[in-house]
Amino acid sequence: MKYISTRGTAPILGFSDVVLAGLAEDGGLYVPQTFQQFTAAEWRSLTALPYPQLAARIMQPFVGDEIPLATLERLAVEAYQPFRHPAIAPLKQLAHNHWLLELFHGQTLAFKDYALQFLGKLFDYLLQQRGEKITVVGATSGDTGSAAIEACRDKSTIEIFILHPHGRVSDVQRRQMTTVLSPNVHNIALKGTFDDCQDIVKALFNDLPFRKQHNLSAINSINWARILAQVVYYASTALALGAPDRPVSFAVPTGNFGNVYAAFVARKMGLPIEHLAIGTNKNDILTRFFASGSMAVTGVSPTLAPSMDIQVSSNFERLLFDAYNGDSAKLSTTMQEFRATGQYTVPPALHNSLTALFSAYRFDDADITRIISTTYQTTGELIDPHTAIGVAAAQHALADGRTTAPIVSLACAHPAKFPDAVQAATGVFPELPLWLSDLHSREERMVVLENSVEAIRGFIAAKDII
């Protein structure tokens, strides 16, 4: 399987090179040249497989002959073995036609574990084969950092440095990072904001000699392997609810558009996915796009669902590339315009074709609180603010007649990750799972550093063994 950049001028690469490269050299995102379709009979033959085996079978056509199926299966078994639910991604029923997919049974209680645990194993395998090492550097406002740290801890091929804004992440989120005492894990509390953290990471990646010397790598959501690993839970869910013989719809709380794009890939692989409802918080660039056909940047403001507080949804470029029928010249022009003016508008026919499959709804903090409360009252389930946005999007899509198939909302984080919002809405304090209940008494390790590129560069250079 070969991969091409959405912008069309980066080298065409195989799976392993794409995984290690992350972003394409021309600034685009790698996508597979073709999408393998499984026939209905093939999907039926996958129905009984346990999650890790299903994962290997779904990924195999996208990996090609670069990794044997047995090895893929071993990596998947190792990646999902520490998950705390035997079904890995279990389903619960919320209403007659509405289901909840729990994606918080990994080590850091958010759906990012499902992709990053696999990616960590994959990186380690590929780097060992090549006799190489990498330095992962990332900025986090919460969920991504802890999931990346858990995925990279104790791996001899990886040193990981995660910057978070000092005093500005929740206690649970900070402790999920700082209580990992593995020698290859370095937590940096920056005396600044999340944007400062991001700017410093960008500056380090733009410092080409430094980047080369330390073999810097990002594990962010534009990595194709993360998308691919996320396709698996859409498939396991669809199969559990009767696919390929019965259609299913999904409702996805959305920030960078990575998670919902994985649903789109599952559909391209032949699963009967009828409708995709997306939910945003008040940072609603996507909701405005689906309403108007115009993508237009505005500011970002903090909400109760911080993992969706984003300005630009980077993975949307992959969907647009598909909608442009793979016309990379046209896509590059659009992206240049976006970069220059902060906005672009797609032709009406293209907009119509997207809104035939997708609907989009926006919910502010008051909506989020109300939905957490009513969900608790009607079903007894405590849901986190991100999940609430998906649940509400599903309810709207059903009410608007956008789907007659059963719709599945993605529970993207455990309620205990956002205890204050959940308690304010329901009066109930969501407890951490038993196996994490000693989180607040575990030893923490982090360094507090000044808000300057030099301070961070110096720290990495001194610690990094590469």
Ligand X SMILES: *Cc1c(COP(=O)(O)O)cnc(C)c1O
Residue 415 as a binder of ligand X (CB under 6 A): the answer is no
Residue 318 as a binder of ligand X (CB under 6 A): the answer is no
Number of residues that bind ligand X (CB under 6 A): 16
Residue 307 as a binder of ligand X (CB under 6 A): the answer is yes
Residues 6+ apart with CB under 8 A from 73: 52, 53, 56
Residue 100 as a binder of ligand X (CB under 6 A): the answer is no
Alpha-carbon span 180 to 107, nearest angstrom: 11
- Residue of 236, 254, 369, 375 that binds ligand X (CB under 6 A): 254
Provide the strand spans (E) within 258-335.
273-280, 294-296
Query: Cβ closer to ligand X: 140 or 332?
Result: 140
Give the contact letters, 111-130, x = binds to ligand X (CB under 6 A), - = no.
-x------------------
463 is catalytic: no
- Residue of 413, 421, 436, 449 that binds ligand X (CB under 6 A): 413
Query: Cβ closer to ligand X: 176 or 256?
Result: 256
Residue 253 as a binder of ligand X (CB under 6 A): the answer is yes
What number of residues does the chain have?
466
Choices 251-259, 279-287, 320-328, 395-403 (CB under 6 A): range interacting with ligand X: 251-259
Residue 412 as a binder of ligand X (CB under 6 A): the answer is yes
Q: Which of 112, 121, 155, 282 is catalytic?
A: 112
Residue 169 as a binder of ligand X (CB under 6 A): the answer is no
CB of 110: closest distance to ligand X in angstroms?
Answer: 4
State which H helix or E strand residue 211 sits in. Answer: helix 208-213
Three-state DSSP at 20 gives helix
CB of 264: closest distance to ligand X in angstroms?
Answer: 12
Residues 6+ apart with CB under 8 A from 212: none
- Residue of 32, 106, 244, 255 that binds ligand X (CB under 6 A): 255
**How far lies 452's CA from each of 378, 405, 456, in Å?**
50, 52, 7
CB of 234: closest distance to ligand X in angstroms?
Answer: 13
Give the sign of the dihedral formed by CA 330, CA 336, CA 337, CA 339: positive
Alpha-carbon span 282 to 284, nearest angstrom: 5
Task: Give CA 299 to chain center in angstroms.
Answer: 22
Task: Give CA 389 to chain center in angstroms.
Answer: 16
Choices 12-20, 42-50, 156-164, 254-262 (CB under 6 A): range interacting with ligand X: 254-262
Residues 6+ apart with CB under 8 A from 307: 110, 141, 142, 143, 144, 255, 386, 412, 413
Query: Cβ closer to ligand X: 95 or 312?
Result: 312
- Residue of 165, 258, 279, 430 that binds ligand X (CB under 6 A): 258
Phi/psi at 346 (nearest 5 deg)?
-95, 155
Choices 9-17, 174-182, 256-264, 392-400 (CB under 6 A): range interacting with ligand X: 256-264
**Touching ligand X, residues 338-397 (CB under 6 A):** 386
- Which one, of 113, 114, 117, 92, lies nearest residue 102 by Cα? 92
Chain residues binding ligand X by CB under 6 A are 110, 112, 143, 221, 253-259, 307-308, 386, 412-413
Residues belonging to the active site:
112
